[in-house]
A = this chain, B = another copy of it.
């Protein structure tokens, strides 16, 4: 992995997900924030490309609407000077933004995806990244998911949602890796 052609994408690590935690809603990967912080620290040390993607919902009642407390970025991933920030309004970081064109302009080939939620915004952005031809890595312990009940009435635990996302991503859209594996590849 040529680090000069690699970017870390931190997706939707915003306060609304902290609020959901405050309600004790079960989620997967409680270690995810710690791993994201480790990746961010290593990328900053190496002066590597860091991209922050933030969600501003246009859906009535969403805690992610711009200006609401839920849309604020979690403090530990506050963008620093020189880091790129994209505001998106849908799940995919590639839709309604200049992300793809900017990555190509900067000759970025490798993308490391982390953030929330595993199965919605990170997965959608990863599906598109892989399909657009980027060499994409999905950090299995740097994303998290919440449980859900589907339209067929079946309940899926947060861990089941998380595990299915890894299964759907791997070898089809991305290489699923742990934080430790990414750090090892970075040398």
Contact = CB atoms under 8 A, between A and B. Distances in A.
A172 B64 CA distance: 14
B163 A154 contact: yes
A90 B124 CA distance: 14
A133 to B, nearest CB: 8
Contacts of A35: none
A46 to B, nearest CB: 26
Interface of A: 90-92, 95, 119-120, 123-124, 127-128, 130-132, 140, 148-152, 154, 156, 160-161, 163-164, 166-168, 170-173, 176
Question: What is the interface of chain A mostly: helix, strand, loop, or mixed?
Answer: mixed
Contacts of A161: 164, 167-168
B168 A151 contact: no
B131 A90 contact: yes
Contacts of A160: 164
A130 B151 CA distance: 17
A163 B140 contact: no
7 contacts: A92-B128, A120-B168, A120-B172, A124-B173, A150-B176, A151-B167, A151-B170
A172 B127 contact: no
Nearest to A154: B163
A171 B151 CA distance: 9
Contacts of A172: 91, 120
B170 A95 contact: no
Given A164-B156, A164-B160, A164-B164, A150 B128 contact: no
Contact of A176 (B127, B140, B151, B171): B151
Nearest to A89: B131
